[in-house]
Structure 1
Amino acid sequence: FGADSDHLTRADRYHTDLVLVDAPAPGSGKVFDWHLASEVPDSVRLILAGGLDPENVADGIRAVRPWGVDVSSGVEAAPGRKDPVKVRRFISNARAAAPPVEETDLPPLDEVPYDWEDE
């Protein structure tokens, strides 16, 4: 959903495992007002997107406390080309800001999430 969507307040009615909240213009690389994400009911796992990069991902995690984050242009060296140094910094900063799993209020997923580091 775009952060300005009126569907956010009803996200729990869609019976999904996750809801991705992005800027009103997805793919723009622009950060939205993270307080808009508070419209998502607490029972819904939220993925925060929209203008995230290595410098602001920790602030976004602390402000929204999402289940996960999404990034694309925020870690690019050039359009369509990822910068491995930015990717590593993004992951490191996201992990440092994330609360321990036992501090989250959400029930565990039925399956173990994919972990790219296991490959």
Structure 2
Amino acid sequence: MSEAKPGLRIDKWLWQARFFKTRSLAAKLVQSGKLRLNGELISKPSRVVSEGDVLTFPKALDTRVIEVRALGTRRGPAPEAQGLYRDLAPPEPKPAFAASPKADHRPTARERRAIQKFKQGLEEN
């Protein structure tokens, strides 16, 4: 007899590795059919993931590519969760949003008059 490879439900592993806040959110992603396990689309949260597997899934606006390093036994703190996987394609840092230089102040009396004059001109046309 061959021994079965040890594994863990994929929704539970995604929750333990802190990719999702709840296990039901992880299950919803899997059921949506957007998660790949070793290149194969899966849609059942009961699929078993084991060490060495590669997961590809959308998270926020990025596509995450993760290699499973360990299965884990609990949902622990973030440093412990980060030891469960290796990020093969880390998300690129977003550029800082450049706000307009004067967007954080109230308009002066002169600027208010200019705004009112502009609005009146729009209403007349």
For Structure 1 versus Structure 2, the TM-score category normalised by the shorter chain is under 0.3
- TM superposition score normalised by structure 2: 0.23
Larger radius of gyration: 2
Structure 1 or 2: more strand by fraction? 2
- TM superposition score normalised by structure 1: 0.24
Structure 1 or 2: more helix by fraction? 1
